[in-house]
Amino acid sequence: MPPTITKIVSTEFAYELEDQGPTPDGFHMVYEPDSTFERHLFGLQVHTDEGIVGEYVGGNSPGMAELHQVADYLVGKNPLNREKHWSELKRALRKYDRMGMGPIDIALWDFAGKYHDSPIHELLGTYRERIPAYASTYFGDMNGGLDSPEAYADFAEECLEMGYQGFKIHPWGGQWRDTQRTIDTIHAVGERVGDEMDLLCDPACQIETFGDALKVGQACDEQDFFWYEDPYRDGGISQHSHRKLRQMLETPILQTEHIRGLEPFTDFIANEATDFVRADPEYDAGITGAIKRARVAEGFGLDIEFHAPGPAQRQCLAAIRNTNYYEMSLVGPKTPNTTPPIYADGYTDQLDCIDEDGTIGFPDGPGLGVEYDWDFIEANKTGRRVYE
């Protein structure tokens, strides 16, 4: 008899981030000494009649609200029929952005790996054993952390000495947004370490005009940046404007982090609106959706770069040829990554977890290859939904 899903449990929990606080607009986390910030995540468990539980911890409230609309569909179904479920949920959530598909699909892949006693990357088809990481910074602050172009350059040099092969700048945001200061930072970092590291710039859709986006891109050209990502206020979704920007710059453009859905993603490539593309298992309808993106990119001859760190990202990257880096984010000189203390097996995504060559490896245990600390999640629970 095939395995059957008996119930799905979604547990919301909270944890505190030390020495962090929001920018004045409240949209970005930055270094803020002697402050704490409470963050909420979700622990997802897919129980089966095999006694094997598929697990994933992550997600956000809007995504989980979508999952709540479709979770009942999965109860009583075979958890191994991921492609069928993916297609059904995609149709069911057609009015929404479908981010609720990500956590549940990852949990189903975790079940499959445990069921077959294999890491997910073996089920996908392993390509590599390690991959270089780049240091992806917090946004700029005014509090003594990344508070000047020189501070970014100092931190880039520190990351180079640790072994990092790439460094990405997230500049200042909100009321602190300043195009010229971003340009100055690009030059400061480029002049300090540009001959020894791949440099990347990600304004996170904050630049207000095409003209300023062009000026920042020209600074990237002058410092030979590896890519320029999500520059301005279209929200990262305009094919026309990014095609125009590509035509006017030498630095490759990286887009599609904010493009939801496989078909719009494919159209973005087909219309020559980007050079590199993005994927994220949590954002892009799970490991199933992220791998579909990777195969589309491969067919077009493009590289796909995964957003953010995490065990699901690592499992995907181990099985993909056309990719360059693992994003170690968010990192800074005075505050740790926002990764919650949910791993009971030593898994980490902190700044110092690379080897001397600046690379990271991939978990080889069954499924995602990590052991979650459910005692911590339960002790910090703020809500729960059960479907059975």
pLDDT at 24: 87
Q: What is the pTM of this model?
A: 0.98
Q: What is the mean pLDDT of the chain?
A: 97
Q: What is d(CA 151, CA 279) in angstroms, rounded to the nearest whole number?
A: 30
Q: What is the pLDDT of residues 15-47, one digit of tens each?
A: 999 999 998 888 888 999 999 999 999 999 999
Question: Does the structure show a pLDDT above 90 at 193?
Answer: yes
The Cα-based distances of 40 to 3, 13, 64, 255 in angstroms read 32, 6, 12, 27
Section 95-103 average pLDDT? 97
Q: What is the pLDDT of residues 229-263, one digit of tens each?
A: 999 999 999 999 999 999 999 999 999 999 999 99
Token pair in block for residue 116: 């077959």
Question: Does the structure show a pLDDT above 90 at 114?
Answer: yes
Q: Please check whether residue 229 is in contact with residue 200, taking contact to mean a CB–CB distance below 8 angstroms.
A: yes
Chain-centroid distance of CA 388 in Å reads 31
Q: Which of 155, 177, 213, 267 has the alpha carbon at shortest distance from 169?
A: 155
Q: Please check whether residue 192 is in contact with residue 153, taking contact to mean a CB–CB distance below 8 angstroms.
A: yes
Q: What is the pLDDT of residues 117-154, one digit of tens each?
A: 999 999 999 999 999 999 999 999 999 999 999 999 99
Lowest mean pLDDT among 314-318, 334-338, 347-351: 334-338
pLDDT at 238: 97
Q: What is d(CA 13, CA 9) in angstroms, rounded to the nearest whole number?
A: 13
Residues listed for the chain: 388
Q: Which of 85, 55, 73, 100 has the alpha carbon at shortest distance from 285?
A: 100
Q: Which band of pLDDT confidence, cut at 50, 70 and 90, is reported for residue 202? A: very high
Section 89-116 average pLDDT? 98
Q: What is the pLDDT of residues 265-297, one digit of tens each?
A: 999 999 999 999 999 999 999 999 999 999 999
The Cα-based distances of 23 to 20, 32, 37 in angstroms read 10, 9, 12
Token pair in block for residue 246: 């590509």
337 membership: H or E segment, kind and range = none
Question: Does the structure show a pLDDT above 90 at 172?
Answer: yes
